[in-house]
């Protein structure tokens, strides 16, 4: 199956700092990537759809200026949590679909990034 790599797996930062999380598709090109957030023992909440070469599409209630998404190439999308606060502490997971979801493709997920803001 396709491989999606996410880095870092864990990050601890101080309140007010910014943190960047990278998501790479290693063996396929991804014009679209999806960023999810997961709270403990909860489901995945779609934050935004990252589009290569254009602006990301954010879900309702997700602050664009808080969660900056950049999809500069067909294999790399980044999520930057700006001016992080303790309430931003969460598990962030990226995913992509080599075949596209429209055709019934499956999502391949990164291993997730555990962010802890002190």
Partner 1 sequence: SQQGEEDPQALSIQEGENATMNCSYKTSINNLQWYRQNSGRGLVHLILIRSNEREKHSGRLRVTLDTSKKSSSLLITASRAADTASYFCATDEAGYSTLTFGKGTMLLVSP
Provide the binding-site residues for partner 1, judged by CB under 8 A. 1, 4, 6, 32, 34, 36, 41-44, 46, 49, 91, 93, 95, 100-102, 104, 106-112, 114
Q: End-to-end CA distance of the chain, in Å?
A: 37
**Least distance CB 54 / partner 1 (angstroms):** 14
Distance from C-alpha of 81 to C-alpha of 12, rounded to nearest angstrom? 12
What residues are paired with 90 via a beta bridge?
115
Q: Are 3 and 94 in contact (CB under 8 A)?
A: no
**Least distance CB 27 / partner 1 (angstroms):** 16
Q: Which is nearer to partner 1, 67 or 108 (CB)?
A: 108
């Amino acid at each position: 199956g396709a491989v999606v790599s996410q880095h870092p797996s864990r990050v601890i930062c101080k309140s007010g700092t910014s943190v960047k999380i990278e998501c790479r598709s290693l063996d396929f090109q991804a014009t679209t990537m999806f960023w999810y957030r997961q709270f403990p023992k909860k489901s995945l909440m779609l934050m935004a759809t990252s589009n290569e070469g254009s602006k990301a599409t954010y879900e309702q209630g997700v602050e664009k200026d808080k969660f900056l998404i950049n999809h500069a190439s067909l294999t790399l999308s980044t999520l930057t949590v700006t001016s992080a606060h303790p309430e931003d502490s969460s598990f962030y997971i990226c995913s992509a679909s080599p075949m596209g979801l429209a055709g019934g493709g499956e999502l391949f997920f990164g291993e997730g990034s555990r962010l802890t803001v002190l």
